[in-house]
Amino acid sequence: MTIFPLAGRFDPARLFSFKGGIHPETRKFLTSECAIEDMPVPTVLRVPLQQHIGVEAEPLVARDDMVLKGQLIGKARGPVSANIHAPTSGRVLAVGHFTAPHPSGLPVPTITIRPDGDDRWGDRLPRMRPESADPDEIAAQVAKAGIVGMGGATFPAAVKLNLRARYDLHTLIINGAECEPYLTCDDRLMRERAEEIADGIGIMARALGVKQVIVAIEANKPQATAAMERYHRVLGYALKIKQVPTQYPMGSEKHLVKTLTGKETPARALTAELGVVVHNAATAHAVHLAVRYGEPSISRVVTISGRGITRPANVRALIGTPVAELLAHCGGLAQEPERLLLGGPMMGQPIQNPRVPIIKGTNGILALAASETRDREVMPCIRCGLCVQVCPMGLTPFELNTRIKAGDLEGAARVGLLDCITCGCCSFTCPSNKPLVQTIHFAKGKLAEQESRKHQQEQAKRLAEARQERQEAIAAAKREAMAKRKAEMAAKKKREAEAAAAETPKNGETVK
């Protein structure tokens, strides 16, 4: 692994270390010097309605509708959701289901668009002057633009900007670490669009109402650091550029906060509880485009790399572009890949069908040759403890694996299953080549399924109890009404009897 000399404002005395982590070979040289290139409009776009954490968007178009670039075609539902916009102009071929860009290969609600080649814009969002805009207005604009965390987490950006209402925030951290091997899209974006990113950072800082801003870049990206250092102040905020050690998973939100502030985020808590919010550099660029120019989130920069690619590159592509067309744009496959991934080699998702589309959180497409993957026989665990040493969350992956294999998911949860960030450090370092992170992924899904089923059962029980209470209340009301009616009838009969008795003549009386 190549380590570049530390430069700029990096001060080791002001940084903190975290337990665990690894130093994989970065292999960023394949695309680090490849400038961002714009890909032509593809022949078809498949835009999933679920491109974010939270509830899927509600479709606003139907088959054969004509749409314009930037038009809202999927409306966010609920507090944690994101709008979906048409990446270009064209005709809607279908509103149905298509294979998800996910290892499961299951179909998800998708809007398929046939571009008309004109790339005509519809009505854009109104432009704003963030210097005088209210924080709520900025957050609302970001929500309208459908921006999510573009580092891969896909959490709706507006939700994070609104955390100022719940927490006492003081620091905004921009994550430019890009610690996954191969990926260089954020690196190139910071090199080529530093001014726009800096403006987006200032806009987010104003929306959050923080006091300081830190831009964190790994030490193996000196050109990106130099480019960002040219912008010391934006919208009244001083930008502190800090180089952080080249260590995986430095890009993890909680570990980046620990490195920069020394504060450790409690398990299953938000960094906002420490007064810190983390956003990705690409997200800052998207915010700049949305606020300054009214452009919704309809494209992103993707790194296409690996020995299986004929021409590795960094490409700006429209959301919904099929992976196959991106590969073709880069000259196609140089050889049959051993593994095709969306994302990086550590946390990326393997796919089998190259027809699946890229989404807002797709930062890479990797076609890895056999020489770039480990294809060794899985051996029994030797209890070496290496997985424990490298786990950045302080867990015991071999124990998790044992409990999961035995079907003890509750026991696995007790020893930290839900705290695992599935970074893959354990699998990477395991000498027995055990698929630890894959097993943990499976267990998390199984546990979520069980919790969902339990929640449904509890909900059904609550509904049944509520129905029983309603029926009992109705029956009690009927009994009470009947008792009241009987009492009224008895009282009426008594009054009638008394009246009749009063009118009956007594002995010796003469009825007039």
Each residue's pLDDT tens digit, 410-436: 999 999 999 999 999 999 999 999 989
Residue 18 has phi, psi (to 5 degrees) of -125, 155
Tell me: the pLDDT tens digits for 429-473?
999 999 898 899 889 888 888 887 887 888 888 889 999 999 999
Q: What is the pLDDT of residues 163-208, one digit of tens each?
A: 999 999 999 999 999 999 999 999 999 999 999 999 999 999 999 9
What band does 7 get if pLDDT is binned at 50, 70 and 90? very low
Contact 368, 307 (CB under 8 A): yes
Percent of the chain at pLDDT > 70 equals: 96
d(CA 372, CA 363): 19
CB-hemisphere CA count at 13 Å for 221? Answer: 37
Short-list 19, 102, 62, CA closest to 395 = 19
Q: Where do the structural domains in the chain lie, given as residue ranges?
A: 378-499
C-alpha to C-alpha distance for 214 and 188, rounded to whole angstroms: 19
Q: What are phi and psi of 174, to 5 degrees?
A: -100, 120
CA-based nearest residue to 208, from 293, 275, 265: 275
pLDDT at 10: 37
Mean pLDDT on 101-115? 90
- Candidate CATH numbers 1.10.3110, 3.30.70, 1.10.1060, 1.10.150; the one for domain 378-499: 1.10.1060
How far is Cα 200 from Cα 289, in angstroms, rounded to an integer?
A: 8
Task: From residue 210, give the alpha-carbon distance in Å to each of 156, 166, 202, 278.
Answer: 19, 13, 10, 12
**Residue 150: closest CA among 278, 293, 22:** 278
pLDDT average, residue stretch 77-82: 91
Average confidence (pLDDT) over 48-64: 94
In the sheet that 349-350 helps form, which strands lie side by side, from edge to edge? 36-38, 313-318, 299-305, 364-368, 339-342, 349-350
Instruction: Name every residue whose Cβ is closer than 8 Å to that of residue 309 and which is 6 or more positions away in sequence.
Output: 327, 330, 331, 333, 334, 367
* Alpha-carbon span 112 to 338, nearest angstrom: 29
- For 234-286, how does the pLDDT look when each residue is reduced to its tens digit (9 = 90+)? 988 999 999 999 999 999 999 999 999 999 998 889 999 999 999 999 999 99
Reported confidence tier of residue 502, pLDDT bands at 50, 70, 90: confident
Q: What is the DSSP letter of 49?
A: S
Q: CA-CA distance, 467 to 370, in Å (whole number)?
A: 60
Mean pLDDT of the chain: 91
Q: Provide the 10 A C-beta neighbour count for residue 428.
A: 18
Q: Which residues pair with 114 in a beta bridge?
A: 91
**Burial tier of 30 (Cβ tally within 10 Å: 0-12, 13-18, 19+):** buried
- Report the pLDDT value the prediction gives residue 3, as an integer from 0 to 100: 35
Sheet holding 90-99, edge to edge: 45-48, 107-115, 90-99, 66-67
pLDDT of residue 457: 86
- Segment 147-164, tens digit of pLDDT: 999 988 899 999 999 999
Average pLDDT over every residue of 20-34: 95
Binding residues: 381, 384, 387, 391, 420, 423, 426, 430
- Rounded to an integer, what distance in angstroms lies between the CA atom of residue 85 and that of residue 418? 33
pLDDT score, position 203: 97
Instruction: Report the amino acid identity of residue 370.
Output: A
3 and 26 Cβ atoms separated by less than 8 Å: no
- Span 311-336, average pLDDT: 97
Q: Which residues are annotated as a binding site for [4Fe-4S] cluster?
A: 381, 384, 387, 391, 420, 423, 426, 430
